[in-house]
Structure formats: structure tokens, C-alpha cells
Structure 1
Amino acid sequence: MSDLETQDRARRVLEACRAAGFTLATAESCTGGLVIGALTDIAGSSDVVDRGFVTYSNAAKMAMLGVPEAILAAHGAVSEET
């Protein structure tokens, strides 16, 4: 995906959230903050964006997102369950 496509998608997400009265938070791992970075690069995004978590280690996933250790042990860090 190009930078322009990423910016356009981020803009559309923010517009949709505004229209619906939503705020959003992100939880990322392998993307390393790409999603929250694209959203917060847009001026005025703070009316929609609440927070973003970049939790690369399993310890961070457990501490910051509440992912149970048993889920990580059973399914790994990259799965639908986590």
C-alpha cells in the first residue's frame, strides 16, 4: 500500500468515526505503530483518537492489553485469539 493510500484510508476512518460519534484506540504489534501513526499524522485527529498501544513483546501484551498468558501459550502472539 502506498503512502497516499494509507493516508486516504486513515482519513476515511477518522471521518467515519466522527460521523458515528466514535472514538478509537489501536492495539498493534508487528505493524510497530503504523496504524496509529497514520491516524495521528492527520491534523485534528485527537477528537477521534483516544490512544494507541504498540505491544511487541508477549509481556507487554499481557500487561497493557490484558491478553491472558494461557492464550499466548496456546495460540502464539499472532492469531485471531490474541
Structure 2
Amino acid sequence: MFGQNQVPDRSLQKTVNQRLERTGTGAQSKVTATVQQGTVTLSGALQYENQRRPIVKAVGNIAGVRRVVDQLKSPPKRRPQS
């Protein structure tokens, strides 16, 4: 049923979840992932915008991931105090 390079979604979901735990997204960040036919959709809220790139890259480098859809929400930009 699966091609040589295709990883079952269930296995991929487990690997993605483990990778997210290791990326250290921080206690205030709530990032979740869903996997469907090798496409990983990341959703949730980031604590800091600079967390986005490492998370997307870490997930995208997992064997079997065909595509990463970034639906992560950034924190609101703070206005400098005068």
C-alpha cells in the first residue's frame, strides 16, 4: 500500500510529536501537529516569533514528511513604551 519513501501517518505523527517536544518550544507556546498523507499541519500559538523557523525546519527534516503547513500564530507585537 505504501511506496518505498512513504511513512504511515501514525508513525509520522509519533515522530513529529517527539520532535516538537525536543525543540523546546517553551511553556507558553502551545504547538500541535496533525499528519495526513505525509503533510504535517502545525497549529497553535507561539510565545515568540523567532520560534517559528526552528520548529518548521525541525518538522520538515523528518523522513517521510512531504510538506509542512504553517498555521502557527505569532504573539501580538508589543508597542515600545515611551
More helix by share: 1
Larger RCO (alpha carbons 8 Å, 6+ apart) = 2
- TM-score, normalised with respect to structure 2: 0.32
- TM-score, normalised with respect to structure 1: 0.32
